[in-house]
Structure 1
Amino acid sequence: MTVTDPENLLYLDVPAGRISIRLRPDLAPAHVARIKELAREGFYDGTPFHRVIDGFMAQGGDPTGTGTGGSGRKLSAEFTRTPFQRGTCGMARTQDPDSADCQFFICLADADFLTGQYTVWGEVEDGMAAVDALKKAPAGRQSGLVDDPDKLIRAQVAADAGT
């Protein structure tokens, strides 16, 4: 088993436990840098997983919890052919490919139809049970918006975990 460099390991603490994400600067250097910057600012702490669709993905990182909030710092797309599989972390965006900001998602299942259209910035190394335990949208709710969503308690880069 390889050990991930603590500078490229992100911890997301959620009600059901800790999610450890191996960051992929080799695929998306600007996105990884932004995620680390926002985590270090405490931006993600307390933000809800506002959109969780069973069998698809869990989306969070919006400070408003509406799906329309951001940090005001847009990113240009860093698309690759890396497949979106269970545990893949991608950046949410609007129809504009260069509109990613702070919102992200974690795939609950394979989602190959996203490959090449969204930026992959990481993959869950440990803690998928905690991702699976996030409150989901009611069945049939197409928007995927969750009533009383679980919140991200804390996001931190592993290198900073002792601070």
Structure 2
Amino acid sequence: MKLTVLVLVLLQGLCCSGFPLFQPGIVAMARQALGASLRHVNNLTAGTNLYGVTYSSIKRIIPIGLSSYDMILKFGVRETVCPKSRTADPETCNFRRGHFVSAASCSSRVRLTADVSELVFVRCGSASSSSSESSSEEVFMALPSTGSRTPHENGGEAPPLWSDLPATQGGVGHMDENNFLE
């Protein structure tokens, strides 16, 4: 009896100690969350090509309920050679080369349940670029937001996720000082 109590106390202490515990489903959940985030970025960019993931990491997993989690991801995106009209998988596309290729560093929060992944927010800012015109501002974008897009070139800056959004969607697309995070 004493041994059982001692083992339970030891296991409780290990679970609360902050040591990471391996969860076998975490990789599948992370891929699902990253896929939802990348689809959203590709839907909102004004360019004609798809964006692919250059790096990704899980920053935090927040349990919401019994089988639902919020996953906070950090990832980088870069323009690929695949056009959006071809509906290719961005993972199979090669990245564009050159000095003025669009790239960004993004973070997202995705709510995952047993069979559904729902984006809570996406935040992207300019990544380092070889262009001297690159910017370091970040923009917060609450979801859902849709709008008609006008393709244009952006000279190597972050993907133009935030321009041309209508301001009639509850302030989601309205650009003012409340949309910027510093």
TM range (shorter): under 0.3
Larger Rg: 2
More helix by share: 2
TM-score by length of 1: 0.26
TM-score by length of 2: 0.24
Higher relative contact order (CA 8 A, sep 6+): 1
